[in-house]
Amino acid sequence: MKLVAIGVGPGDPELVTIKALRRLAEADLVLVPLSRKGRPSVAQEIVSAHLDIAMEPIVFPMVTDEGARDEAILEQIETIRPLWNGRETVALPVIGDAALYATAAYLYGVWKKIVPDLDLELVPGVSAHSLASARVGAFLALGTERLAVLPGTDDAEALMETLSTCDAAALYKPSALGEDLASVVARTGPWSRMVRIERAGLQDEKIIEGTPALEAAEEYLSTLLLWRWTAGRPS
């Protein structure tokens, strides 16, 4: 059996690839990731805009305890065993790029313990930071500039170490830093431009420029972009 993790883009249905749609249509079973039961799925909305296919929900608990998370995933895999047992391909559409901070990795890791010969296929998608930079009309990095892509869930000191040495950065899940976000950014500056994009590509998209972008963020689907530009750089 093969698990096909499919990136369907960050939210805008027009940014899903032709290959992603083909692989979804070919799959024997399509699972759709949820952060909690009953909550709408962005990935499902993107897929449904193009394909009329059945999708089975699977919840990925937003917890820091890896053991508890894996146990919850394992329980669900066993519950839906009649749906996947004997199938050749199971697809999991994920927002953004399937190879970057994707929940598919957790599913694959747990599932492979049950099915040791489980194969994995990754179908790339447009990342959230790519769409975010496009929405504000700014190049992420040019020439020899160093771009860092970081998770806000990391330790603040570790984040500052990397931010201090890069020319531009995309910080995923800045909400995880809470009130510490402003301090982390300020202590690694100066930054010429700071932009936070929430729910990029969706109808309720929000773009916040400058210092207000460093206020504690509540939206999980948000990306903070930072640039340490030199004079004369295009914007």
Domains 2-123 and 128-227 share a fold: no
If DSSP states are collapsed to H, E and C, what string results for 59-116? ECCCCCCHHHHHHHHHHHHHHCHHHHCCCCEEEEEECECCCCCCCHHHHHHHHHHHCC
Gap between the Cα atoms of 69 and 59, Å rounded: 10
CB 124 within 8 A of CB 19: no
Domain ranges across the chain: 2-123, 128-227
For residue 30, what are the β-bridge partners? 91
Burial level of 98, CB count in 10 A (0-12/13-18/19+)? buried
Pairing of strands 147-151, 168-172: parallel
Angle (nearest 5°) at CA 216 between 200 and 32: 40
**pLDDT at site 231:** 45
CB 150 within 8 A of CB 127: no
Contacts of 148 (CB under 8 A, 6+ apart): 162, 163, 166, 168, 169, 170
CB burial of 199-213 (b: ≥16 within 10 Å; e: otherwise) equals bbbbeebeebeeeeb
Pairing of strands 2-7, 222-227: unpaired
Q: What CATH topology corresponds to 2-123?
A: Cobalt-precorrin-4 Transmethylase; domain 1 (3.40.1010)
Residues of the chain with pLDDT under 50: 231-232
**pLDDT at site 17:** 97
Q: How many residues does the chain have?
A: 235
Gap between the Cα atoms of 191 and 158, Å rounded: 18
- Answer CATH for 128-227 from 3.40.50.170, 3.40.50.2300, 3.40.50.300, 3.30.950.10: 3.30.950.10
Largest CA distance in the chain: 61
Residue 129 CA: distances (Å) to CA of 5, 42, 72, 95, 199:
19, 17, 30, 12, 11
**pLDDT at site 110:** 95
- Assess whether the previous peptide bond of 190 is cis (omega < 30° from 0): yes
pLDDT in tens, 114-141: 999 999 999 999 999 999 999 999 999 9
For residue 207, what are the β-bridge partners? 197
**pLDDT at site 232:** 45
